[in-house]
Structure 1
Amino acid sequence: MATFIDMGITDKMSVESPLPVLQKKAPWSSMRETMPDFNDEGTMARFKKYLLAEVDEKRSTLPLAGYCFMTGIINAIIFSAIFIWCGSQTGNTVQLALAMARLLEHDYSFHLVDKQALCSLISFICGGFGGARLGDKIGCKSRAWLFMGTFIQALFTMASAILMWNGRESNVADARDAPAWSDTLSFLFTGFLSASMGLQGVMARRVNSHFSATVALTATWCDLISNPKLFDVRRLVPSRDHQIMTIACFVAGGFVGRALLDKIGSANTLGIGTGIRVVIAVLWLFVPEKESI
C-alpha cells in the first residue's frame, strides 16, 4: 500500500514538477542553428540579391589581373605551336586578308595556318557574342554572371587540355611552315581556346575598367603612352597604374606559359590554367558591390 502511494506521489510530482527537464542535444545541433536556412524565403532573397548585385569596377583589380595573366599563358601555348593568337584577332584578320589577296595572283590555295586563323576568329566571335547576349540577360556586371562566365572559360580551357592529352608529343613548332599542330584536333584546340578568349574579352569590356578587354595590348599601350600623368610618380594614378599592371600580367603570363610548356607540355599547362580560371571565378563572388549614388 505504501509502495503504491509513494509511486503515485512520485508520478504526480514528475508530471507537475516545475523543474526543467534537461535534454541532451545532438553534437551537430548547434552548428545547424548557426547555418543559414536556405528554405527561408528571406535568406534566399538576400542571397539572390547578393549574386545579382553589380560589382565595383574600381575594386575588381585582382580577377581582371588574373584574366590578363591567363591571356599571356594561352597565347604563349598557341603561338608557340601554330603561330596565331587566340586573344588578339588583329593578326588573324589581316592574315585572312592576305590569303584573299593571293587570289589576285591566281593562287587558290588555303594554307593550314590560314584555316587555323579563320577557326580562331570565328570561335572568338562566337564566344564573345554568346557571352554578351547571356550576360545582358543575367546582368553583365553582376557577381552571378562574372562567376558563371569565368567558370565557362575554365570549361573551355579544360576541354582543350583533355583533347591535347592523348598523342600530343610536339608542343613547339620548328618553323612557321611546319606547325606543331596540323591534324584535325588542332582546330578543336584552337576553337575552344579562342572561344574562352572571346568570352573573357567581352566580360572584361562590360566591367568597364582601366584593364580594357584583357585580351590585347595595343589599345593599352596607346592609352599608357598618351596618359598625361604617365610620369607623375608623386601619387597613385589608377588609370596609369592599372595599364602598367595589365602589361606586366601579360608578360608574366607569357613567361610562365612558355616556361611550363618546356617542362610539362601543353596539356598540363592548360590544366594549371583551368585551375587558375576556377580561382578567378570564385574571386568574383567576393568583389565588393558598387555603391549606389
Structure 2
Amino acid sequence: MSGNTVYLGLGLVAPREGVRWIKAATSIGFFCLGSWFFAHFHRFLSPRRRWVLVASFGLQLLLIVFAAVIVTWFYDPSNQLSWTIIVPIASVAFQSSGQAVTSRALQYPGLTSVVLTSIYCDLFSDPKLFSFSNVERNRRTAAPVSLLIGAMAGGVWAHSSIGLAGALWTAVFLKALVVVAWMFWKADPEEA
C-alpha cells in the first residue's frame, strides 16, 4: 500500500494528469475494508482453527478467481476506469489483506508480504543478522526476495501473450495450493 499511497498523493495534487490515483485509492480503500473484514472474521471464529484458515484462504481464492474471470473474458483496456479494471483491483486488494491479517492471527507479523519497509528495518537491525542459525532473519529475507521474484514473474507475464489474465490464473493456482496445504497442516497439540 506504500506505492499506492504515493500514487494517491501525486494524483490528488494533479488529478487531471492521469487515473492511476483513482486505482490507488480503490486499492487502499478495499485493502482497508478487507483488513477490517478478515480481522473480525478471525477474531469471531477463532483465528487458529484449521477450518477458519481454510475458509479465509478459500474466500481469498474466490476473490482472485473473480478478478481472473473478469480480466480473462471482459477486460477492456481502452477505458482505464471501466469496471473491468476497477473491480479486479478492488477484489485483489480486498483478498490480499487476508494474508496480512492471517500472519498476525498466527503470531508471525514478520511474514506478511505487504509491509516490506518494516521487514527491511527488522532484518538489517537484527543483532544476529550474520548468525549461522537465525530463523527470523531467514523469514525476513524470504519475504522481500519472494515478492521481488513474484513481481519479476508478473512483469514477464504482463509483457507476454498470457498477460495479466495469466498472472491472475497463476495466483489462483498458488492460492489453491495454500488452501489445500491448510487442510493437511499438522495441528498444534492442545494446551493443557
Question: Which range, TM-score by smaller chain?
Answer: 0.7 to 0.9
What is the alpha-carbon distance in structure 1 between the residues aligned to residue 152 and residue 15 of structure 2? 38
- Shift, 1:99, TM fit: 4.2
Q: Describe the superposition over 1:242-291 as per-residue Cα deviations: whole angstroms up to 9, x where unpaired.
A: 11122221122122222233241111221121121111011112222234
Question: Secondary structure at 1:114's aligned position in 2?
Answer: helix
* Contact 2:9–2:21 (8 Å) recurs in 1: no
Is the Cα–Cα contact under 8 Å of residues 113 and 144 in structure 2 kept in the other structure?
A: no
* SS of corresponding position for 1:285: helix
Please tell me whether the aligned partners of residues 127 and 195 of structure 1 are also in contact (alpha carbons under 8 angstroms): yes
Say which of 156, 159, 168 aligns to 1:270: 168
Q: How does 1:88-237 map to 2 (within 5 A)?
A: 89-100=1-12, 102=13, 109=16, 111-166=18-73, 168=75, 181-209=80-108, 211-233=110-132, 236-237=133-134
Higher relative contact order (CA 8 A, sep 6+): 1
| 2:3 maps to amino acid | G
110 and 145 in structure 1: CA distance in 2 versus 1, 3 angstrom threshold? farther
Percent identity of the aligned residues? 21
Deviation at 1:216? 2.7
Q: 1:223 to 1:192 in 2, by over 3 A?
A: same
Separation in structure 1 between the aligned mates of residue 94 and residue 142 of structure 2, nearest angstrom: 24
For structure 2, the 5+ residue unaligned runs are none
Give the Å deviation of 1:163: 0.5
**C-alpha displacement of 1:167:** 5.5
Partner in structure 2 of residue 252 of structure 1: 149
- TM-score, L = length of structure 1: 0.59
After superposition, the Cα gap between the structure-2 partners of 1:93 and 1:269, relative to the gap in structure 1 and judged at 3 Å, is: closer
Take 1:210 and 1:117, find their aligned partners in 2: how far apart are those partners?
24
Aligned partner letter, 1:137: F
Greater share of residues in helix: 2
2:42–2:105 contact (8 Å) kept in structure 1: no
Structure 1: any 5+ residue segments left out of the alignment? 1-88, 171-178
Residue in structure 2 matched with residue 50 of structure 1 by the alignment: none
Q: Under a length normalisation based on structure 2, what TM-score does the superposition of the two structures give?
A: 0.87
Between the aligned partners of 1:254 and 1:94, the Cα distance in structure 2 is 18
Whether the 8 Å contact between 2:5 and 2:28 is mirrored in structure 1 is: yes
The structure having more radius of gyration, on CA atoms, is: 1
1:164 Cα deviation from its structure 2 partner: 0.7
- Report the number of matched residues: 190
